[in-house]
Amino acid sequence: MTDITFGALGVPAPLVAVLAADGKTTAFPIQVDTLPDTLAGRDVLGRGKTGSGKTIAFALPMVARLGGKLSGGNRRPGRPLGLVLAPTRELATQIMQTFEPFAKAYGLTVTTIFGGINQTRQVAALRAGVDIVVATPGRLEDLMKQGYLHLDAIEITVLDEADHMADLGFLPVVTRIMDKTPQGGQRMLFSATLDNGVDKLVKRYLQNEVRHSVDEANSPVAAMTHHVFETEDVDTKNELVRTLASGTGRRILFMRTKHHAKKLAKKLTEQGIPSVDLHGNLSQPQRDRNLAAFGDGSVRVLVATDVAARGVHVDNVELVIHVDPPMEHKAYLHRSGRTARAGSEGDVVTICLPAQKQDLKTLLRKADIRVTPQQVTAESPAVAKLVGEVAPYVKPVPREQQVQGGGRSQGANAQRKRAARDGQQGGTGRSGESRGQGQGRRGQSDVAAAPRRDRSGRPAEAKSNAPKQGGGQGRGAQTTGAQRGSSARSSAAKQPLRVGSLVSPSRSTRGNRRAQG
């Protein structure tokens, strides 16, 4: 198909300029198919695989149609004009990031609404007046019940990844939300499949819709290459995982459980491969911090559970590794869709132990993936080809130096200074690293566990330094004990990075200087 420009599809000039500034001049198939209809105000059902460019396909018409007739003076508190529903917090955040430059071109405001964080800022944004809301269903309905949000002014509604919302059990909530929007509004629904009740949403809420299917519902991305690596035992598998994670490009490793995702990220980091984890046990600030580190290149490995299969939209992920094969074929396709996005190429590796062969064979058949399994070790040529250039080894930062931003406690700073003066942190930090191994298993922060480290040494680190700290001996001991532990626990609760995450280079450098001083 000949390349078609956005301008030729009817996209207004201000938005064409925003796209061009980001290096986007020609449209993807789903954009070519849907934009003429969506820009004209038609209801659209778009079926396309992940990474096909559908976010831009619905962002452009929503901004163009609302921005063309809206001025800031018409903005009313708690009554947005555009609504996008998404299944996960991560997807909602990334949809908003796509919207923001387009909205700015027309002076529109966009905000996200999702759970896992305090609602104060979300309520404040609604009270100030917002034009477009990107939300997950649960928190949106909660704010509606509290009276902070009304949908009677909604003109355009988008349901993104409707099949995943069905998988998560959101359809009853989505139905209640959609019932609150005006019947005459424009509605767009995007989904990879029409099962599990998605077809009922289409019949109930879309009127005279135009249907566009860019590809078959279960087809893999054409530029994606699939591999199945069979290993003899767990030890061989572990070494294979470490080798595959050691390349220079971005890669996502998928695990079945939250515990194993956290454990693997920590292990890889300790082996000199900076990694962060993403799973359901993380708070929203922790998810945001880890995703930001992966997105900006601070770390190149993300270890995730299926919570990230739909929610992570990061460009240039060159390799997806199913460390644990998923339970069903839809999960395989959604996980794999994190690579080969927007026309780029990518590879997908599934690691298979002997007991998993038959289940994996069935899964791949349902996903319509044809691949010949290979028996490999970490040294096999097929593995080396995927790894490519090996990234330089990154020396792990000793645990007691991993002080991450967002609320350092004074007790923690004082502790590090005293430890340095007492000679308890040498240049390599090996003693501190040894002490940190046990507490890492308990899932506690380094700072919170610090007062326990000196049981075999002096009863209180501050004892000999009490005069230097400006207080008496009793006060120094008191600070070292309960108050400092409480302060450190409070600080640790605010820290977004997990045990398996590295601090930023600037902070680790400062930590090294303190340790060496």
Domains defined for the chain, CATH in brackets: 7-213 (3.40.50.300), 224-387 (3.40.50.300), 399-516 (no CATH)
The pLDDT assigned to 27 comes to 87
The pLDDT assigned to 4 comes to 87
Q: Are 333 and 218 in contact (CB under 8 A)?
A: yes
Q: Are 66 and 82 in contact (CB under 8 A)?
A: yes
Partners of 227 in beta bridges? 349
Q: pLDDT tens across 185-199, in order?
A: 999 998 877 777 888
The pLDDT assigned to 349 comes to 92
Confidence of residue 236 (pLDDT cuts 50, 70, 90): very high
- Looking at residues 208-224, what average pLDDT do you find? 63
- Which of 39-53, 365-379, 439-453 comes out lowest in average pLDDT? 439-453
- Looking at residues 429-436, what average pLDDT do you find? 39
- Looking at residues 479-504, what average pLDDT do you find? 44
- Looking at residues 71-95, what average pLDDT do you find? 84
Q: What letter does residue 180 receive in the DSSP assignment?
A: T
Does 14 score more than 90 pLDDT? yes
The pLDDT assigned to 485 comes to 46
Please, which residues have CB within 8 angstroms of residue 248's CB and are 6 or more apart in sequence? 300, 388, 389, 390, 391
Does 181 score more than 50 pLDDT? yes
The pLDDT assigned to 230 comes to 93
| C-alpha dist (Å) from residue 112 to 51, 86, 151, 156, 315 | 21, 10, 15, 16, 21
- Looking at residues 175-204, what average pLDDT do you find? 90
Q: pLDDT tens across 124-143, in order?
A: 999 999 999 999 999 999 99
Nearest to 396 by CA among 503, 249, 295: 503
Confidence of residue 449 (pLDDT cuts 50, 70, 90): very low
Distance between CA atoms of residues 141 and 119, nearest Å: 13
The mean predicted confidence, pLDDT, of the chain is 76
Burial class (CB in 10 A: 0-12, 13-18, 19+), 103: buried
Confidence of residue 159 (pLDDT cuts 50, 70, 90): very high
Greatest CA separation for the chain:
80
Confidence of residue 459 (pLDDT cuts 50, 70, 90): very low
Distance between CA atoms of residues 67 and 14, nearest Å: 11
The pLDDT assigned to 312 comes to 65
Q: pLDDT tens across 360-402, in order?
A: 999 888 888 888 999 999 899 989 888 876 777 776 665 444 4
The pLDDT assigned to 134 comes to 97
Residue 336 or 502, more confident: 336
Q: Are 494 and 406 in contact (CB under 8 A)?
A: yes
> Which of 86-95, 177-186, 362-371 has maximum average pLDDT?
177-186
- Looking at residues 224-247, what average pLDDT do you find? 91
The pLDDT assigned to 451 comes to 43
Does 162 score more than 70 pLDDT? yes
Confidence of residue 356 (pLDDT cuts 50, 70, 90): very high
Confidence of residue 511 (pLDDT cuts 50, 70, 90): very low
Distance between CA atoms of residues 241 and 301, nearest Å: 11
Please, which residues have CB within 8 angstroms of residue 380's CB and are 6 or more apart in sequence? 374
